[in-house]
Structures are given as structure tokens and as C-alpha cells.
Structure 1
Amino acid sequence: MPFVVILFSLLFLSEPGSKVTWLGPTEVELGSIQKMKPVYVRFPFRNVTQQAITIDNIRTGCGCTAPEWSEAAVAPGDTSSILIEFDAEKTGYFRQWIRVYIHDQRSPERLWVEGEVLE
């Protein structure tokens, strides 16, 4: 039974055809944050292929969301992470998407940050 739970968890954390498994949530609730005060979120992942992988690009839903990542290849079984800086200029609820484009992977990985920006 524990094997089934672990297998289901791995399937839940990675997309079909995905070259990575996320080592934490892919949707992060930031709660209430202050306007013009950057908040940082780290998304760790593991390369689950038999080859080194690289991130070609990361795109975000607005200019208030800025990604940082290593351009170095991630060896099979190794881990790396993506750092997201969210710096809101407007108040109110937000839900921002992040798309991670891994070399030779058909679909991008999808990440989200959401919360409420206060004055």
C-alpha cells in the first residue's frame, strides 16, 4: 500500500512527459503581502530522466513576477530550483502563472503564486 501512495504522489507532482518532479507545491499561496515589497518563492525540482536537462526559458504572467534560474545543466537525479520574485505595484487579489520551458519537453511546466496585495 505505501508503494501505491508514493507512486500516486509522484504522478500528481509531475505532468505526463515531464522531465522533472517538483519537490514542493507548484501552487503557492502567499497570503497578504505589502505593495512594493518583494516576496520570494523557491520552487525546487529533480531531474527524473536519464539525461542532463536545461531550462531554456521561463515566462511569467506580468512584469511583477521575475524568475531566476541556473543555466547549468541538471544531471540525472540531481536537483535544482527556480527562484521567483513577486513585487506588486497594485493592490488586490492576484494569481500569477509561471511557465518553465525545459529543453526538448513538449509542454511547459506550470507554476502559480497567488495572494492579496495590501497598501
Structure 2
Amino acid sequence: MMRAILALCLAVLWPAAILATPAALSDDREAAVTSRAVTLHPPATETLRGIVDSVDEGSDTLLIRLSADRTESFKVQDGLIFNAVRFGDPVEISVQTISGIRTIVGLAKE
């Protein structure tokens, strides 16, 4: 009889005790890992200079002429950039790779 009561108590209480402890620890560990990842690996930003070759608001892209023989299309993070630039404007852009796409995150007219 005593063994049956002990077995019942263990069956009911043991899983709850095991599950409660790691969950509390894993949240703290996740927060620590996430903050370290942000601190250690900030997004790489590249600064480029060029001339606006075309503006395509429909696909949220700017075509920038980086040199006489090189143009590159960039996605625009903030649609307000389209209000600031026109064809032929010399610009300095800050570019980050977001979800595998080179994206303009900052723009200054020169």
C-alpha cells in the first residue's frame, strides 16, 4: 500500500518538478544568448558613393551607378527616400544585407 502511494505521488509530482526548473533557466539562457548575438554580430554596414541612375518606387529599388562601368540595384528600406532623390543626384548610401538582399538603410545627397 505504501509503495502504491509513493509511486502515485512520484508519477504526479515528479514531471511537474522536472519541467518547471529548466523552463525558467532556458528563458534566462535564451535572453543571454540573444543579447550576446546582437552584441557580437551587429549587421555589417557598407558605405558607397554613386549617382542615382533610376528610381523604381513600384519595386522599392534604386539603381545606383557606382562607377562608369558598374551599376547596382538596391532595395530601399524606407520609402521616404524616394521623396529625397531624383535621377542624376550624387548620393552616399549605407547598405546592409537584410534577408539576403542588399538594402539601402541610409542615404545622403552630396
Structure number with the higher helix fraction is 2
Does TM, normalized by the shorter one, top 0.5? no
Band the TM-score falls in, shorter-chain normalisation: under 0.3
Q: TM-score, normalised by structure 2?
A: 0.24
Bigger Rg, structure 1 or 2:
2
